[in-house]
Amino acid sequence: MIRECCMSLLLGGSLAAAASGQTADELLAKHAQYLGERKLDGTPVHQLELPDTEDGEATKVFLDAKSFLERGEERFWSAHGQSVQYVTVYSDFRQAEGLTQGLTLPYRIEIRFKETQGHGMTAITGGQVLAIDKIEVNVDLPEIRFARPKANAAKTP
């Protein structure tokens, strides 16, 4: 099961393995490293490390040990010459309304910013929480919502 979850994360649901001429196992061996089990907010998770092709920093992904849902990720973000480590934690998983099976989504997403304190110590220095009340799937929307906005007539002084 971990193998299938890794492939889903690596390939984003695409057929990249077939397109690259590599087998799924070759892609996993080259792009994912299993780091073992640990706990994330008290929940046992499998920890994987995936390379980030954009900046070379690795992303750690945490999969729930029982359900294999993605429980979180840890990565670095760089801007203006500074690198910030952050952890995203997904929780409060529920089935989306309107579906009888299949789509389980996190209704709480927490982003925690970490700062290195020295001597290998880190501290949470801030963050954000997104709490979702409702997710609706396949909702009928009027076509006008997808229409191109009308240009405003040029105003003359």
Q: How confident is the model at residue 61 (pLDDT cuts 50, 70, 90)?
A: very high
Is 109 found in the same domain as 85?
A: yes
Is 130 found in the same domain as 55?
A: yes
> Under 8 Å CB-to-CB from 20, ≥6 apart: which residues?
27
Is 10 found in the same domain as 58?
A: no
> How far apart are the C-alpha atoms of 5 and 61, rounded to whole Å?
10
- Write down the residue that tokens 């008290």 correspond to: 42
First to last CA, the chain: 67
For residues 60 and 72, the answer to whether their CB atoms sit within 8 Å is: no
Is 83 found in the same domain as 125?
A: yes
Tokens of residue 104, six digits = 């389980």
Domain count, the chain: 2
For 62-73, write each residue's pLDDT tens digit: 999 999 999 999
How many other C-beta atoms can be found within 10 angstroms of the C-beta atom of residue 53? 7
Is 57 found in the same domain as 24?
A: no
Across the range 38-66, mean pLDDT stands at 86
Domain of residue 14: give its range. Answer: 1-31
Across the range 65-82, mean pLDDT stands at 84
For 14-33, write each residue's pLDDT tens digit: 444 445 566 656 666 677 88
